[in-house]
Amino acid sequence: MGERTSLDAITAWIAANVDRLDDEPVARAAAAGRVAAHDVVATAPLPADDYAALDGVALRAAETVGASAYNPLAFRLVDGSAALPPGGAVHVAAGAPLPPGADTVVAHDQVEIAASCCTIVEPAEPGSGVDRAGAHVAAGAALIRAGQRVRPSTIGALAAAGIVDLAVTRRPRVRLVPTRDGDTDRDLLSALIGRDGGIATTAPAERARATLSAALRAPGADLVLVVGGTGPGADDHAAAALADAGALAFHGVAIQPGDTAGVGRLPTGVPVFLLPGAPAACLWAYELIAGPALRRLGGRPIGLPYGRRRMTTARKIVSNIGVVDVCPVVRTVDDRIEPIAGFGEAGLGAALRADGVVIVPEGSEGHARDTEVLVYLFDE
C-alpha cells in the first residue's frame, strides 16, 4: 500500500470505469423503486375521453349563460345513453364518460333537482367539472423518463395508460469474497447492497493469494467486493490477488475509517473493491466507494442514500487533515449536533449511537462550534 489516493480521484475513477448495466423487463406492479432504462410514453391521451370529474349533472355550458338566482334556468333530465338533446341534462357520477354534446358538469349541490328537471342558478364554464381527454397526460407525453426511479404514482399512471411492463436497469449482482470466516461483514454488506438495489452472494472465504485471485475471476458478478486482507500485514493478500486477477488501480484511500481500501478491475471490466475487514472501516469504505459504484451500475443517484440537513454544531468537530473524515454525531435536545466517540475508537458502536455523520473533507481540520454544517442523517 503506497500513498493514499484522494476520495475525489477514486470518485473520478468510478465515473470513468463503471457504467450503468443493461436493462431487463419488469412488470409494472413490481417496478417500484426500479430505474427506467428508457422513456415510456403514453400511446393515447389520459383520460382517453372527456369524463365527469364530480357527481352532478352534465349539460351544455352555452345553455347556462344568463342563469342567476333571479333567472333560474331549467333543464330537462334525460337518459345519458344517447347524445344530449338541446335543453337537456344528464345525471353523471364522477369518472363516468360525458354524454356526447355535454361540455360541463355542475355539482349536485349547485343544482336544484326535481323529478324530471333540474334548475341552474349560475352560468357554468365549459370544461368545468370535466376531466378533459388528455388533460392528465397527452398522447406521446412521457410517463417516466430514462434514469428516473419508478414512484408509486408512476405505477398508477402506467396502469391507467395500460402499460403492463417496462424496461428497467438490471439489478447489479455483487459477489462478496471474504478473506476470513465470520458473519459481521457479510451481513453488514448484504444489508447495504440490498438497500442500494443490488443482489448479494457470498463466496467461501479465501485466505491465499492464488485462491483469492481465482475467486475474483469467477464469472457471474457485476461487481466484486473483497472483504478483509487489505492491510499491510503478511497475511493481507487482497491487493496482490486483484493485481494477479486483473488490475489494481489504487490501494490506500484518504478516508477515515476505511483507509486500507483498494480499487481495480478485472479484464472483463468488472470493478473490484477491496474493503477493510474491521466492520466500521468496511462500512465506510462501502458507503464512500463501493456503494457509489453499485448505485451507478444500477442507474441510481450515486450520493449517500441518507437524509441531508444543514444543522448547527453544539460542540466543535475535530478532524484529521489529509483524509476525508467520517465523524459520527448525535442530535442534541435543541436539535443541533455534537460529535461522539469516532469509528476508530468505538467501531460499529459509533454507528449504533450516532444519529448521522458529518463528512469533513480532506483539506479541513473540522468545524468550529456554532457552525452550520451538512449532516447525513441515518433515519430520515
Name the one range near a second copy by CB under 8 A: 77-85, 97-105, 130-138, 167-175.
130-138
**What helix, strand, coil percent values describe the chain, rounded to 5?**
25, 30, 45
Contact string 175-204 vs a second copy (x = CB under 8 A)? -----x--xxxxxx-xxx-xx---------
- Least separation in angstroms between CB 157 and a second copy: 5
Residue of the chain from 146, 199, 330, 348 that contacts a second copy (CB under 8 A): 348
349 interacts with a second copy by CB under 8 A: yes
Q: How many CB atoms lie within 10 A of CB 103?
A: 21
41 interacts with a second copy by CB under 8 A: no
Half-sphere exposure of 67 (CA within 13 A, CB side): 22
79 interacts with a second copy by CB under 8 A: no
Residue of the chain from 69, 114, 115, 352 that contacts a second copy (CB under 8 A): 352
- Least separation in angstroms between CB 294 and a second copy: 13
Q: How many CB atoms lie within 10 A of CB 232?
A: 10
CA pair distance 280, 136, nearest whole angstrom: 49
Calculate the alpha carbon distances from 186 to 149, 157, 178, 196, 238 in Å: 28, 39, 8, 15, 16
Residue of the chain from 121, 133, 160, 330 that contacts a second copy (CB under 8 A): 160
- Least separation in angstroms between CB 188 and a second copy: 3
Residue of the chain from 304, 344, 362, 365 that contacts a second copy (CB under 8 A): 344
Binders in 222-281 for a second copy, by CB under 8 A: 231-236, 277-279
Question: Of the two residues 149 and 209, which places its CB atom closer to a second copy in the complex?
Answer: 149
- Burial category of 335 from C-beta neighbours within 10 Å (exposed 0-12, middle 13-18, buried 19 and up): exposed
209 interacts with a second copy by CB under 8 A: no
Name the one range near a second copy by CB under 8 A: 64-72, 149-157, 167-175, 248-256.
149-157
Which residue type, as a one-letter code, is found at position 274? Answer: L
Q: HEC profile for 82-126?
A: CCCCCCEEEEECCCCECCCCCCEEEEHHHEEECCCEEEECCCCCC
**Per-residue DSSP letters for 298-347?**
TT---S-SSEEEEEEBSS-EE--TTSEEEEEEEE-TTS-EEE-S-HHHHT
Name the one range near a second copy by CB under 8 A: 65-73, 157-165, 212-220, 363-371.
157-165
131 interacts with a second copy by CB under 8 A: yes
Question: Of the two residues 132 and 315, which places its CB atom closer to a second copy in the complex?
Answer: 132
Residue of the chain from 8, 19, 24, 29 that contacts a second copy (CB under 8 A): 29
318 interacts with a second copy by CB under 8 A: no
CA pair distance 299, 317, nearest whole angstrom: 34
156 interacts with a second copy by CB under 8 A: yes
